[in-house]
Chains A and B, each alone.
Chain A
Amino acid sequence: MSAFFAMGGYAIYVWPAYAVFFIVLIADYINPSLRRRRNLRELRSRMARQAARQQRNPSAP
């Protein structure tokens, strides 16, 4: 097992390469879902404000 992690002495090159691969792709994957959640939250509070305004003043657009 330790031979596997040693990568024939090239561990300091092989494992960072794999780490970069996974870190960059995970960041790429997570980013839009965070953005989506934030956008939906903003939209919801905008809708709530609109609903409240309409309640207060039904004739206004």
Chain B
Amino acid sequence: MANWIPLWVHKLSSPPNFYRFAGVVRPWALGLALILGAIALYGGLVLAPADYQQGDAYRIIFIHVPSAWMGLFIYGLMAVASFISLVWRIKLAEVVAMESAPIGAAFTFITLVTGSLWGKPMWGTWWTWDARLTSELVLLFLYLGVIGLYHSFEDRRQGARAAAFLAIIGIINVPIVHFSVNWWNTLHQGSTVRILGPSHISTDMLWPLLTMMVATKFYYIASLFGRVRTDLLSMESGKDWVRQIAGAHGSADAVSAGRAEAAEREARR
């Protein structure tokens, strides 16, 4: 590895160390996600006033917009991890990239479904082929393509390499999704929340939205780390550290069952 990378990064990226680290971080991330999510839902569903045009239907925003942000954020992260895995062949980067795809697909799916449920009462249609909606659908297909390509190879590392290429090429879609509302005349509204300049939203509605955004970030960490732990175990199943975990976890029932089975076979012989 390049020597400008600090030693602790190198140490952390070794599978047994990351397995342990992720196991410690995961419950905290999930706890924070649940607490912040509950606060955001209370703020969004109870405290925030109804919209003067959309009534209470606008309350879908508190899950729709954070999910849409996560769909794009996770895609970007997946593409960066894919790039790292292709260039430096770091096993952990490969696992992070491939296990981010299902989470990103889940958030993109939520975005499309909640958007559809919001579109019906407000636009009078579940679906329309407008630029924002179409590019979001393409994003879902890119995620599904990455997942499918990864699983279509007999050798999983080969599959991960092919899928990483697709993930990197597909990054072109991320700015298209983001800017589609500016570049084309769409039915979908423009951005309400802005990083630069004032947001077009009242504070009562803005804080639950931003809290939910932070909650979904923590959820992503919790879900990703669980997935990475699972993957590291099955990738390294021949190694000693995994065997120790398997031995410690088993309430010895599987082991004794295996032994009994073998003894029985022995007896029959």
Partners in one complex: yes
A interface with B by C-beta (< 8 Å)? 4, 7-10, 13-14, 16-18, 20-21, 24-25, 27-29, 31-33, 35-36, 39-41, 43-45, 47-49, 51-53, 56
In B210-269, the 8 Å CB interface with A consists of 219, 222-223, 226-227, 229-230, 233-234, 237, 242-243, 245-247, 249-250, 254-259, 261-263, 266
- Give, as a whole number of angstroms, the nearest-CB distance from B21 to chain A: 16
Q: A53 near B262 (CB under 8 angstroms)?
A: yes
Q: B120 near A25 (CB under 8 angstroms)?
A: no
Q: B50 near A13 (CB under 8 angstroms)?
A: no
In B81-100, the 8 Å CB interface with A consists of 99
Q: B57 near A28 (CB under 8 angstroms)?
A: no
**Residues of A contacting B247 in the complex (Cβ-Cβ under 8 angstroms):** 44, 47
Q: B246 near A13 (CB under 8 angstroms)?
A: no
Q: B258 near A39 (CB under 8 angstroms)?
A: no
Extra A-B contacts (10), CB below 8 Å, given A17-B64, A17-B118: A10-B57, A13-B121, A20-B110, A21-B63, A24-B106, A27-B106, A39-B233, A43-B233, A45-B258, A51-B255
Q: How far is the CA of A34 from the CA of B23 in the complex (A)?
A: 16
Given contacts A7-B57, A17-B64, contact A24 B117 (CB under 8 A): no
Q: A10 near B55 (CB under 8 angstroms)?
A: yes
Give me 26 A-to-B residue pairs in the complex whose CB atoms sit less than 8 angstroms apart, sorted by A's number.
Answer: A4-B46, A8-B50, A10-B55, A10-B121, A13-B57, A14-B59, A20-B110, A25-B110, A25-B223, A28-B102, A29-B223, A32-B99, A32-B223, A36-B226, A39-B234, A39-B237, A43-B237, A47-B247, A47-B255, A48-B255, A48-B258, A49-B258, A51-B258, A51-B259, A52-B259, A56-B266
Q: A40 near B233 (CB under 8 angstroms)?
A: yes
Q: B106 near A36 (CB under 8 angstroms)?
A: no
Q: How far is the CA of A17 from the CA of B266 in the complex (A)?
A: 58
Q: A39 near B114 (CB under 8 angstroms)?
A: no
Of chain B, the residue at the smallest CB distance from A39 is B234
Q: B262 near A52 (CB under 8 angstroms)?
A: yes
- Is B103 part of the binding interface, using a Cβ–Cβ cutoff of 8 Å? yes
Q: How far is the CA of A16 from the CA of B113 in the complex (A)?
A: 9
Q: A28 near B223 (CB under 8 angstroms)?
A: yes
Q: A36 near B229 (CB under 8 angstroms)?
A: yes
Of chain A, the residue at the smallest CB distance from B245 is A40
Given contacts A7-B59, A17-B117, A33-B230, contact A47 B110 (CB under 8 A): no
Q: B263 near A48 (CB under 8 angstroms)?
A: no
